[in-house]
Amino acid sequence: MNEFVTKLPRNYKIQKPGKQFRQSELSGLYANCELHHVFQGKNRKWSDYYGLVIWITEEEHRLIHTGKKPDWVDGLHRAYQSKYELYCTREQFRQNFGRSYL
């Protein structure tokens, strides 16, 4: 976990590692996996900075980004906010992400 900051460097580059054959951190399945940034949109850079990312199968990833969001997406938000709060406070989470999921 990185230190709490409210501003990232202007040239901060979000990681785009592509596909890897590995175990999904969501389902435990071995498959081609992609890195998903748990908090999306303008919060994507914060997901990246704080390591709030998860390797999931291509299929699981497609479920999140196309069509209806599965129920477990909210669970991911809560679980990864909890990870963040191991190192930083809820108020700091709000400053980074604009709201609390807990």
Q: 70 vs 89, which CB is nearer to Zn ion?
A: 70
CB of 80 to Zn ion, least distance (A): 13
Tell me the HSE value of 84 on the side-chain side, using a 13 A CA sphere: 30
Determine if 77 is a binding residue for Zn ion (CB under 5 A). no
**Using an 8 Å Cβ cutoff, are 88 and 54 in contact?**
no
- Through-space distance between the first and last CA atoms of the chain, rounded to whole angstroms: 20
CB of 32 to Zn ion, least distance (A): 14
Q: 33 vs 96, which CB is nearer to Zn ion?
A: 33
CB of 46 to Zn ion, least distance (A): 14
Which of the residues 27 through 66 are near Zn ion (CB under 5 A)?
36
